[in-house]
Amino acid sequence: MPSIFWIPYLALSQSCLEEVKALRHHPLAPWTFLAVPLILYGIWVIYPTFATFFLAFTDWDGFSSLADARRVGFANFERLFNDSTFWKAVTNNLKWIAVFITIPTTLGLALALVLNTDIKFDRFLKISYYLPMVLAFVVIGLIWSWIYHPAQGLINSTLAGFLGLLKNLGFAVDPDSARRIGWLAKPDLVLWSVIGAAVWRQVGYVMILYLAGLKTVDPALIDAAKVDGAEKWNLFRFVVFPLLAPITTIVVVISIIDSLRAFDLVWVMTRGGPFHSSEVLANFMYLEAFNNYSMGYAAAIGVILFLISLGFIATYMWRIVKEEEA
């Protein structure tokens, strides 16, 4: 096309550019760009939050009109605090938090320290460790349900093969006993089995966060510490790890949030069973809302879950701020 035909388009683009530059200094310009995100955030986050607090004081069943919902005061919360399943779910969430802020954090930091050095296939290893984060929770739940399968699962098949080898060597063992281990059926194993699947996914995420933090560490500080005689452990303990404090704060907060909102893996793998042994607050709330049609009671669970999350995060952030000020 001849260049002469582009002249009107160039003139139009130039005029639009000048108008954009003029609008940039208008006091309402930022709110114009923020209007749509704020509206969507208000519809999908702010309104449901306030609606949950309102429903927690009603006996709404989810089907009848909200105008017909009866105000019950704190009856839902009184029932909740006397519900053994609720306390079981709270205990399981606390166990989930304890594991998430220790094992994935430690393993992720260790992997980040190793992969931050010049080793072969470091890019391949980074992708491999981070790959579980790309998978949806539903897919991870299905994969680990197959791994935990009593008869054909990877874990029990490996144990059976190892016991078979010991039996051939003369040891009095029963290889078939390994295939009777019900990782998702025994009340004392099921919670830790589900948490194990969640840890497998979380380690790669923590590793990436710490790798990003290690890239911001000033090499001059490391070199100065080495000149002063700091060895590997002391170098990590007194120089590297304190510099990673902001990343550690982010990791801990994310781990707490992920622990308290755990739902997908529990629903896909166990649905809270057997006998509520793997029950967590989010799954308990879902069952009450959509299985028992007790929306008011489920909203009360949601309020408690929100307050627990707020308490954990606010306390930890307050402590971090005080330490930085000191």
Q: Check residue 142 and give its pLDDT.
A: 95
Q: Check residue 15 and give its pLDDT.
A: 59
pTM of the model: 0.85
Structure tokens at 309: 């999350």
Q: Check residue 34 and give its pLDDT.
A: 85
Q: Check residue 17 and give its pLDDT.
A: 57
CA dist 278 → 120, 137, 140 (Å):
41, 16, 17
User: What is the CB neighbour count within 10 angstroms for residue 114?
Assistant: 12
Q: Check residue 200 and give its pLDDT.
A: 95
pLDDT tens across the length of the chain (326 residues): 444 444 444 444 555 556 656 656 667 767 777 888 999 999 998 999 999 999 999 999 888 888 888 999 999 999 999 999 999 999 999 999 999 999 999 999 999 999 988 888 888 999 999 999 999 999 999 999 999 999 889 999 999 999 999 989 988 888 888 888 999 999 999 999 999 999 999 999 999 999 999 988 888 888 888 887 778 888 888 888 988 988 998 899 899 999 998 999 999 999 998 999 999 999 999 999 999 999 999 999 999 999 998 888 888 888 877 877 77
Q: What are phi and psi of 28, to 5 degrees?
A: -90, -5
User: In this structure, are residues 228 and 78 in contact, taking their beta carbons and an 8 Å threshold?
Assistant: no
Q: Check residue 7 and give its pLDDT.
A: 45
Classify 83-136+201-325 by CATH class: mainly alpha
User: Residue 283's closest CA among 248, 292, 245?
Assistant: 292
Q: Check residue 23 and give its pLDDT.
A: 59
d(CA 307, CA 303): 6
Q: Check residue 6 and give its pLDDT.
A: 42
User: Which residues contact residue 60 at a Cβ distance below 8 angstroms, ignoring those fewer than 6 apart?
Assistant: 66, 69, 295, 296
Q: Check residue 9 and give its pLDDT.
A: 44
Q: Check residue 69 and give its pLDDT.
A: 85
